[in-house]
């Protein structure tokens, strides 16, 4: 996989013109743009269309977590939008994820457009070992991540959104073709912000990440394009 195809830029802005400008400027370096709830709720499919117009892919990160029927319907609409990836919460359970996967397999593909990847979110990177009890989880963070990952893949999820810090444990427990999309990627001088578990781009690829999600280190740089290119260099240097 080319470095550009591994890089996902988190389009965490709320202004459509700013989003379109970032998409246009970064498309040569970024293969996929992540659209979260703020941008999607404000501008809907307009930003999805803008990303597709430059030949890039869309990662729709709305983290569906509802009753199975509702999540099946949401998955169907994500596929109709033509997104490459979308997220569900692993904590939604096996029945919910299974209905989403079944809905995707039931739908007819548009020629030339692959079926979207249904990615399960295990534990958000804003959590760490100390905060697990506050959300009702006991035991080690890595063990909880593996448990939720197995549940999601058994139910039909294609891959996972997970911190790169849990990749070693996950790769031992899961199939070799599992897709790992890892947020919380930072350079050595980048602020951590509200992320608790972060890692550098090269280290994450070497740990087994298939895709890296980078937001603020690119968005807030003096030159977002140069920042993206530096991350591509780190990805390309991975062993």
Q: Among 34, 63, 150, 225, which one carries the catalytic annotation?
A: 63
* Packing angle, helices 94-106 and 141-155, rounded to 10: 40
Q: Which residues are paired to 10 by β-bridges?
A: 34
Other C-beta atoms lying within 10 Å of the C-beta of residue 32: 21
> Can you point out the beta strands (E) in 27-114?
32-35, 57-64, 85-89
Q: Could you tell me which of 193, 108, 198, 122 has the C-alpha nearest to residue 160? A: 122
Q: Are 219 and 191 in contact (CB under 8 A)?
A: no
Dig out the tokens for 7 from the structure.
Answer: 């890089």
63 counts as catalytic: yes
Gap between the Cα atoms of 230 and 50, Å rounded: 25
Q: Which residues are catalytic?
A: 63
């Amino acid at each position: 996989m080319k470095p550009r195809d591994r890089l996902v830029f988190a389009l965490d802005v709320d202004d459509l013109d700013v989003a379109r400008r970032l998409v246009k400027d970064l498309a040569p370096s970024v293969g996929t743009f992540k659209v979260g709830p703020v941008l999607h709720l404000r501008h809907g499919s307009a930003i999805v269309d803008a990303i597709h117009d430059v030949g890039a892919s869309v990662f729709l990160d709305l983290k569906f977590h509802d009753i199975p029927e509702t999540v099946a319907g949401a998955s169907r609409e994500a596929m109709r939008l033509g997104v490459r990836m979308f997220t569900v919460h692993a904590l939604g359970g096996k029945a919910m994820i299974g209905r989403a996967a079944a809905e995707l397999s039931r739908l007819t593909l548009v020629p030339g457009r692959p079926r979207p990847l249904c990615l399960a979110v295990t534990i958000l990177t804003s959590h760490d070992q100390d905060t697990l009890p506050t959300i009702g989880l006991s035991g080690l963070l890595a063990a909880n991540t593996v448990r939720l990952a197995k549940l999601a893949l058994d139910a039909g999820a294609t891959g996972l959104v997970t911190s790169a810090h849990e990749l070693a444990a996950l790769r031992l427990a899961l199939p070799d073709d599992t897709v790992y999309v890892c947020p919380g990627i930072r350079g050595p001088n980048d602020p951590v912000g509200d992320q608790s578990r972060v890692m550098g781009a090269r280290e994450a690829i070497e740990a087994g990440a298939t895709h890296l999600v980078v937001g603020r280190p690119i968005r807030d740089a003096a030159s977002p394009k140069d920042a993206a290119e530096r991350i591509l260099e780190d990805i390309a240097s991975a062993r």
